[in-house]
Amino acid sequence: AQTVTQSQPEMSVQEAETVTLSCTYDTSESDYYLFWYKQPPSRQMILVIRQEAYKQQNATENRFSVNFQKAAKSFSLKISDSQLGDAAMYFCAGIMGSNYKLTFGKGTLLTVNP
């Protein structure tokens, strides 16, 4: 079975500070892809960042970066210089092996305080 776990239901950060959202996953597959999606109050589902398991280098997209620890099956998201517009529900998700289904965690609600 493939699972994605987000253990932090809620997090908060001060504007301009850095926050890290945690995610762990479990799969027996050697080939997989991991994602972070953002769901703002509008309830759109927006891709934040993607990581291929075969890549050792951590993915980065502007202020967003991941810490991918393959042995520990951990995939955390770091948001630097947090902005008010970063406030949203963040979902960690994965596509495992030759599967095409995205498996999602339960999400972490991020609040950004001015």
Using the rule CB under 8 A, is 56 a contact of another protein?
Answer: no
Using the rule CB under 8 A, is 91 a contact of another protein?
Answer: yes
The residue within the footprint of another protein, chosen from 28, 41, 42, 57 (CB under 8 A), is 42
Indicate the residue among 57 and 114 with the shorter CB distance to another protein. 57
Q: Which residues contact 40 (CB under 8 A, 6 or more apart)?
A: 46, 85, 87, 88, 89
How many other CB atoms sit within 10 Å of the CB of residue 4? 23
Cα–Cα distance measured from residue 58 to residue 19, given in angstroms and rounded to the nearest whole number: 17
Give the binding site for another protein (CB under 8 A). 4, 31, 33, 35, 37, 42-47, 50, 52, 91, 93, 95, 98-107
